[in-house]
């Protein structure tokens, strides 16, 4: 009988624990007044980069070499994110939260950022405490080619730098610590658009130029012509102009190039997080393609 009572008590405690409501804090923690993003007076340009003569930053690969460990890693990361998203949604469901259109937008270094696509609200999810801390509102954008959005039309960018969450929308760039407290708020400069938040810097656009915002100084320090921008490989920029492929190493101020006859009529594609560059015939229904492996260290 005593054993049965103990078991019933255990079941009751377990049931109460599983039904405990999720703690949702919809107030911004330690909200900061917005500051202006600093823009250096004399911005560095591509002419200030060292035009590296290293011919070994890239190599052409054959069909037999096209199975990539990087691709496997990218697929594994995607599967891990999907698994984590399902875990989070299951915990939200247990707390009677409507999980429809809730997605995980960042899973990195212990930071879990989710977006509620029903209202555009962005939260930091605490996996241990099972709680949500409101961070910001994402912007809903329709038919604007200057902004790449989620499938539902919301714009936000997120990344981690030195144990700090960088999170941006159209208007502001926010910095948060691990509990979701604001460290700093910076206004996006007038006529600038936030494009990307990479591992060590952010990218803004204005007219035909790209502007590099260094996290280390929280300031815009570079301006690069749009012709040099196409795809990202970690913190490198990969682009093509005619029969030359360029790689810009922002952090080390180096410019690499590779020239090959016959590629000027091909378009380039670099899958995010992969060490491969593909060039496709532009105007063919069943295009041929060339493939290259990037040999530079990951930044």
How high is the mean pLDDT in each 10-residue block of the chain (299 residues)?
A: 44 42 87 93 91 82 63 69 86 84 92 94 91 95 76 92 96 96 96 93 91 94 79 82 87 90 82 75 72 82
Closest CA to 254 of 215, 222, 211: 222
Instruction: Give the bridge partners for 38, in sequence order.
Output: 219
Give pLDDT, residue 20: 52
CA dihedral 254, 259, 265, 269 (to 10 degrees): -40
Give pLDDT, residue 17: 42
Closest CA to 71 of 287, 278, 265: 278
Q: What is the distance between the alpha carbons of residues 294 and 298, in angstroms, rounded to a whole number?
A: 10
First to last CA, the chain: 64
Closest CA to 178 of 111, 130, 129: 111
Q: What is the distance between the alpha carbons of residues 203 and 198, in angstroms, rounded to a whole number?
A: 8
CA angle 83, 84, 88 (to 5 degrees): 120
Residues 176 and 164: beta-carbon distance below 8 Å: yes
Residues 277 and 270: beta-carbon distance below 8 Å: yes
To which H or E segment does residue 299 belong?
none
Residues 270 and 238: beta-carbon distance below 8 Å: yes
Structure tokens at 14: 């377990």
Give pLDDT, residue 99: 85
Give pLDDT, residue 217: 93
Residues 157 and 197: beta-carbon distance below 8 Å: yes
What's the sign of the alpha-carbon dihedral 233, 165, 92, 17? positive
């Amino acid at each position: 009988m005593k054993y049965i009572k103990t078991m019933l008590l255990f079941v009751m405690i377990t049931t109460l624990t599983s039904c405990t409501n999720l703690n949702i804090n919809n107030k911004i923690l330690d909200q900061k007044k917005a500051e202006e993003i600093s823009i250096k007076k004399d911005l560095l340009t591509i002419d200030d980069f060292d035009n590296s003569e290293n011919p070994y930053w890239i190599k052409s690969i054959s069909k037999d070499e096209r199975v990539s460990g990087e691709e496997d890693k990218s697929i594994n990361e995607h599967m891990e994110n999907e698994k984590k998203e399902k875990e989070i949604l299951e915990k939200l469901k247990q707390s009677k939260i409507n999980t429809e259109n809730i997605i995980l937008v960042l899973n990195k270094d212990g930071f879990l950022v989710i977006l509620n696509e029903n209202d555009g609200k962005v939260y930091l999810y605490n996996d241990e405490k099972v709680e949500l801390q409101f961070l910001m509102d994402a912007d809903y954008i329709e038919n604007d080619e200057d902004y790449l959005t989620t499938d539902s039309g919301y714009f936000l960018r997120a990344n981690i730098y030195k144990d700090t969450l960088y999170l941006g929308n159209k208007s502001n760039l926010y910095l948060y610590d691990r509990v979701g407290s604001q460290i700093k708020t910076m206004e996006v400069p007038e006529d600038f658009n936030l494009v990307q938040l990479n591992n060590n810097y952010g990218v803004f656009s204005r007219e035909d130029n790209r502007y590099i915002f260094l996290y280390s100084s929280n300031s815009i320090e570079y301006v690069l012509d749009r012709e040099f921008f196409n795809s990202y490989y970690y913190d490198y920029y990969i682009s093509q102009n005619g029969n030359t492929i360029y790689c810009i190493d922002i952090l080390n101020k180096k410019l690499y190039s590779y020239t090959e006859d016959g590629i000027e009529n091909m378009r380039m594609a670099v899958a995010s997080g992969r060490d491969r560059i593909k060039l496709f015939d532009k105007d063919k229904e069943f295009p041929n393609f060339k493939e290259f492996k990037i040999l530079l260290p990951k930044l």
